[in-house]
Amino acid sequence: MATPQSTRKPHDMGGDPAGPIDREEHTPTLVERRIDAMMQLLRQKPRAFWVTDENRRTIESLTPETYRDSSYYQKWCLAMRSLLIEKEVLTQDDIDAKLAEVKARHGKDGGTP
């Protein structure tokens, strides 16, 4: 049974025009490699903080605008944050405090002072 367009989630693109898929290899950026490493560490047994299905659920729960406007690794990072808060590993206050510390150390734009 087809799902009405208005109730579809942003990740459900089946049947929508999306253009060609970019199949070109690229060298991951430093940020992408760091996000991938954090994800691998946080999913490592015996103390995995979440499983693939939880990560997928979190990404698929992003608002349509956030899902559309975020890169692949930005979605991973948002999912990590949400799951760490959901699992009570961190709080939003913990994250905000660390972000403020990093911004103070490196300037507001995150670059070197």
* pLDDT at residue 113 greater than cutoff 50: no
pLDDT tens sequence across 17-29: 667 777 889 899 9
pLDDT tens sequence across 91-101: 999 999 999 99
State how many domains the chain has. Answer: 1
Q: What is the CATH number of the domain that holds 51?
A: 1.10.472.20
pLDDT tens sequence across 29-79: 999 999 999 999 999 988 888 888 999 999 999 999 999 899 999 999 999
32 located within any domain: yes
Residue numbers of the domain that contains 74: 28-106
Radius of gyration of the chain, Cα coordinates, nearest whole angstrom: 17
Q: Which helix (H) or strand (E) holds 85?
A: helix 72-86
69 located within any domain: yes
74 located within any domain: yes
2 located within any domain: no
Q: Name the amino acid, one letter, at 83.
A: L
pLDDT band at 83 (very low <50, low <70, confident <90, very high): very high
3 located within any domain: no
